[in-house]
Structure 1
């Protein structure tokens, strides 16, 4: 029996995925600031992991699927629609798909003739394909009306999928041999209902729904009456997810987001008892596996960029060793418009009075800053910049009352919180310059709105992958983004004197310098959103390179600070904020 342990790596990883048995993993890692991420193959050897860089470059928009035996399938997100098979010293294109949107799913259990299953969506229907061991794409019978996510095998031929429709999603079971599909879980027309895990050993099926505004984990016994029950112990309005079943299928590992921290617990399905599983401070970062040797899960903390934890119920947790030279962070409380807010401060004891202070705003919008390593925020702290990452109203992990304002309130209560924090920081900093604002995605939109709403409280604005307005995003964004805008009632105009939250219409109020950064290959927010914003600032007479700067990252996706040109984009942000020092 192995003791709890944590392996720590100095560089952050993207897209880390595990095989179902927890013996292999795949990830992306950038080894220097001038090159794209490389595909890595991870192998568990006894009580530790070995990591092999393959020399094959990929993008963070690419999907990874580790295969037993040490190879990785990579679905390229660059528009080529290629499927590549990557080994330690080889990379081969094995297939191409006609459909633009494809998700990789593990092969059916016990099927050595199949590498994986593909769920391919053409903006209307989803078709399923098998990629054989001979690298042939074989279409499965039937199709599903809409876009699917997830994928849980309920045997050798039945696959549970989350099927999206207008307003919500239900779980259906597709028979890959006959093409027939039947509903499995459909709580209501506006709920998101997912199949999450299945254990052949116990026939326990684990599902999740957001009915009633909370995450509710439910259970059924497959092959019996398939009646679902949703215990009170597995319900939370702070964000609750099932991660893994134990080898017997009798206990469930869950993850709950409690403010900036991750909390794990073990739930006994029969006894209906949920017990906390101690962990070090930090954030759970992806899939988990539960084997006879214990639990394996990726983890991160501000001073431990990537850690792989091994946990055992009833044992104390491991403590990841901090990486030397990485800036620490602390959890602090700041005052918002309606009460205290949790935030993470980077920059040591003097973060508040650093020459440059930045208020960082997260994307999502259904998201939050977490107590984990963040490359950009850590780099800014290394530059002597103080950083305050705020979880304003609308952030997840704090309960229904905290997250509810984002529904129908894009740029409403969350903007009120941001401007209140800016005003408070301005007063506490005395004669020092006002804070700058920085945001990504929805956070970039919010940062621009803050610069419009409180121009005297903002010394600079960094907007990474912003959009002009909820209406513009709804009109130009891809299907899942349009669905999100509708589901969160983002087109409603919040009350208040600012009027419609339309950045081009309000841009004349901004007095601080603005930096716009956008990836040309952004698959979430089209790059033309930033191009239009830049054109609007120029039309207002703003001087390029002084009042407004635009950096377009040719190979960048939705996170332009993680691709091959990430070094240039990150340097642009760091240089811009250095110039804000008085």
Structure 2
């Protein structure tokens, strides 16, 4: 069993977060948070033109009441929204060293009132919900290696407790939230502590028993990750215990495990298990030690969850359902979408399925959209970014748009992808464009064989970020075997990215060995060297203000490619790392689809003209 550690909301994983924009009038939801007692939720929504708004959810009447909240000033990702117990929403707008705090209150007329409370000067600022209706949220600021927790009230901010270092995973030990368990990290050393918000006391746990994950306010117990000779285990304890109780069946789960929530009585624990490209929901019965699977539809559980007397609610997404809330009855088998948005049920979302493909080092799983790729005219292989990422059965607006155009989409989780064990993930360490490229080339050959190429057109190719780099390598490695290629935000090589990347990007390259040159038939994975080998019609898109992969990489590639091919370079003014999710992103995605399909048509027409009589 492995553990998934929930990232800080502002942390970028890998080579940037790729947030797809929703096609048409559909909204894509990000940043879900539940209130402390789980009766309210809030999130950000992104529409088809990249406009961002706030959405407020209430479950007080047993079903989801949802309202859109438009703010006077623009909201940008990674803003944070935190729902309060009385229906208010706290909005944190991040800045460079300063962060704006706004409280949004529902009005009697059905609208809302915005009140800018203050601006906080800090290196980092986040918030967690408060169970007290008079306190919309608790704020956690970090500056100069010191953390301060402040209470947000109608009058402003009230400092509660300060301590050295940084804290993570703060969770309630009491129903009123006056005592918290948390991890305190000072100079790289972690210890579990109790924070008393009534007297500002910081008390270490009686013994070093592991990292705090979550708690049961009803019982005061804490779920911890315990280091044992057999690896990291899940265990329960109270802060004064000398040893954690480590249930055997809880630690025999296969897959990547993320604890979600404890029921109001403290008797049951809900866990998300990542099983390749889909999620499973497990319930651990603390009294018996048993673990059982809770039926849910195929899809992906998010990070947000809340367990109330009425239901276990989790943020959830499925191929035909944009991110929303799934309400689960843990005592039975019912699992229902807490609808509440105004999406017409007739919108033509395409379902996805999982298929396995043989690879040079074993099988690999892929998410597949659309008609049977063996017989459909148009097939596209889509490569994910990261590289520590994976395609899954969540709603993906970009892949949906391809499928809506009649394209069969194969989205593989080649070596280097997450969710398939440590060996699969680590296969590309010191080998960027090695084992993963071998998997894609093997997949290409298998697809062409099954489709009786050239009876059917060769596949199209798409990738973003690291996936763009990998896609261009694939197009260069097998030049005549691709019908067209479109990429978003590629980099030229690991070494070139290291030379002009941010500290976070350099750290990733160091950790994964992204600058190591490969010595094989293809040679060093440098697109300035390999790019001219690409024969397929090519579209490269890059945001002018990409803060992950500098736009100069695509500019240099565009200058290197000669004019004896169909090549389009689109630099998006003001665009960021994934311009398809920015303003005008929906139209830009349409342009990508048109380019890919028209290239196939042109290739077919040329083949017909040059075929022998």
Aligned pair partner of 2:426 in 401, 404, 413: 404
For this pair of structures, how many residues does the alignment match? Answer: 556
Match of 2:360 among 331, 337, 342: 337
Matched, 1:293 2:317: no
Deviation at 1:456, TM superposition (A): 2.9
Q: In 1, are the aligned partners of 2:170 and 2:180 still within 8 Å (CA)?
A: no
Q: 1:34 is matched with which residue?
A: 49
Give the match for residue 533 of structure 1: 553
Say if 1:70 and 1:380 are closer, same or farther in 2 by CA, change over 3 A.
same
Q: Note if 1:98 corresponds to 2:114.
A: no
Deviation at 1:270, TM superposition (A): 4.2
Equivalence for 2:443: 421
Distance 1:562 1:116, change over 3 A: farther
Residue 277 (structure 1) aligns with: 294
Match of 1:386 among 398, 403, 408: 408
Structure 1 gaps of 5+ residues are: 1-8, 188-192
1:450/1:171 Cα in 2 relative to 1: closer, same or farther (>3 Å)? Answer: farther
Q: Residue in 2 aligned with 1:516? A: 540
Q: Indicate if the aligned counterparts of 2:150 and 2:161 stay in contact, CA closer than 8 A.
A: no
Indicate the residue corresponding to 2:323 in structure 1. Answer: 306
Change (3 A) 1:540 1:485: closer
Per the alignment, residue 561 of structure 1 pairs with: 580
- For 1:224 and 1:543, the matched residues in 2 are separated by 71
Distance across 2 between alignment mates of 1:419 and 1:98: 50
The answer as to 2:93 corresponding to 1:76 is yes
TM-score, scaled relative to structure 2: 0.80
2:112 aligns with one of 72, 80, 89:
89
> Quick one: distance in 2 between partners of 1:213 and 1:392?
29
Question: Equivalent residue for 1:61?
Answer: 78
Whole-Å separation in 2 of the counterparts to 1:210 and 1:224? 16
2:315–2:323 CA contact under 8 A, matched in 1: yes
> For the residues of structure 2 that align with 1:251 and 1:162, how far apart are their CA atoms?
27
CA drift at 1:263: 0.4
Does residue 550 (structure 1) correspond to residue 570 (structure 2)? The answer is: yes
1:243 counterpart (231, 240, 260):
260
Q: Is the 1:369–1:389 contact (alpha carbons within 8 Å) kept by the matching residues of 2?
A: yes
Give the deviation of 1:332 after TM superposition.
1.8
**Which structure's CA Rg is the greater one?**
2
The alpha-carbon deviation at position 344 of structure 1 amounts to 1.7
Aligned pair partner of 2:493 in 446, 466, 469:
469
Aligned to 1:22: 38
- Residue of structure 2 equivalent to 1:43: 58
In structure 2, stretches of 5+ residues that fail to align are 1-24, 106-110, 602-613
Deviation at 1:205, TM superposition (A): 0.9
1:174 Cα deviation after fit: 7.2
- Which residue of the partner structure matches residue 119 of structure 1? 141
For residues 548 and 306 of structure 1, the distance between their equivalents in structure 2, rounded to whole angstroms, comes to 33
2:162 touches 2:200 (CA, 8 Å); kept in 1?
yes
Distance 1:241 1:405 in 2: 23
Matched, 1:368 2:390: yes
Tell me which moved more, 537-546 or 419-428. 537-546
Deviations 1:15-68 (A, max 9, x none): 22211322111122245x335021111111433101101123523322221222
Q: Tell me, yes or no, if the aligned pair for 1:54 and 1:90 is still in contact at 8 Å.
A: no
CA deviations 1:311-354 (Å, max 9, x no partner) are 122412336599432112222222222232211211223x3444
Q: What is the Cα-based RMSD across aligned positions, in Å?
A: 3.5
Structure-to-structure mapping, 1:134-533, within 5 angstroms: 134=154, 136-138=156-158, 142=162, 144-145=164-165, 149-154=168-173, 156=178, 158-161=180-183, 163=185, 170=190, 172-173=192-193, 175=195, 178=200, 194-208=211-225, 216-225=233-242, 227=244, 229=246, 231=248, 233-234=250-251, 236=253, 238-318=255-335, 323-324=345-346, 325-349=348-372, 351-429=373-451, 430-431=453-454, 432-474=456-498, 476-478=500-502, 480-493=504-517, 496-519=520-543, 522=546, 525-526=548-549, 528=550, 531-533=551-553
Match of 1:128 among 131, 148, 159: 148
Residue 392 (structure 1) shift: 1.1
- CA gap of 1:186–1:408, structure 2 versus 1, over 3 A, is farther
